Structure 1
Amino acid sequence: MGSEGSSQVVVPRSFRLLEELERGEKGIGDGTVSYGMDDADDVYMQSWTGTIIGPPNTVHEGRIYQLKLFCGKDYPDNPPTVRFQTRINMSCVNLETGVVEPHRFPMLLDWKRECTMEDILIQLKKEMMSPQNRKLSQPPDGPSLLICFFVDELEIYESYSIPLFSCLFPFFALNCGLRDAFSIEMLWIWLFNQRILLKI
């Protein structure tokens, strides 16, 4: 008779990602961590967006962090690349690029196939609460947290840029203040117009 280990079933990449997509759509725990696929038409299911709400009693409290996760064709045998789009000062994150550096984040360094994107987001939230990160000074709130996101995503959203911003304006006003929200709106429109001019 063969050993038990030889009968272990390996779940194909597509099935695994469909499972993760379904779980992400149902919601995770208390809602402070979430993720979803960027493009429903992406047959390879590579690009994902995650969100972490900063944990209480830390410098991250009240902040909403957005991340990009990219699952290559070798996922889940190898980990996804993870990058914060919202600026953050954290020991495992490159302050300039927002990339979560595997050699500073054990889950990525010692990746196991059974780990998921949900596990990564939950562990990053735990890192925010760790002694080395809970009191680290953070980049200022306001437009500086959002400009990189606008530039990265503008090409995707330019066809409905102004309507999209109208939906997001209340969020910016609540988190950045009304005056900064108007400033962000002007920046958004200016960037959108620049893209149009460059294409002519």
Structure 2
Amino acid sequence: MIKIVLFGPPGAGKGTQATILKEKYDLMHLSTGDIFRYHMKNDTPLGKEAKSYIENGQLVPDEVTVGMLKDEVNKQKEANGFIFDGFPRTEMQAEALDNFLANKGEEINAMIALEVSDETLVKRLLERGKTSGRKDDANEEVIRKRIKVYHDETAIVKSFYQKQSKYYGVNGEGSIEEITARLSDVIDQL
């Protein structure tokens, strides 16, 4: 069973690539963003709590995110593997994921990071904001704050996986097909 952390800043293309890779490799795609949006749309207690953080460009607290992901993984008993999209975002989340999987006799195979320039990210997110209806994609100030939060708080997770020799950086600029080919080259070597 393959378990991949697909990593990168907001707008790097994680969701797009995860959708393609889940079909190609028959994996379950677990996107914290999608899960949070589901809860927000349905006005659940988790959704209300997550919304207050997300709309201000902040990260949802670790304990909320970790608990939610554990529940999702445990629901997918027949899965051939997972693509974690948007998780882990902190070292605490990475450690919690490692411990959770170790208790099941499993582990993360790789963290694959889409590397994209900040200006390309802003451009992509503003474009997505025109069609997605997501408030956090329509405001350049909020977008830049999200990117800064990623660099300041989330990018440190990279070193967690580098220490385990599980980190792979992939150029996330170019066509969707070019990026998919680069990601597939890494996955095929695992």
Q: Shorter-chain TM-score category?
A: under 0.3
Give the number of the structure whose residues are more often helix, by fraction.
2
Q: Which has the higher contact order (CA 8 A, sep 6+)?
A: 2
TM-score, normalisation: structure 2: 0.26
**Who wins on radius of gyration, i.e. which is larger?**
1
TM-score, normalisation: structure 1: 0.25
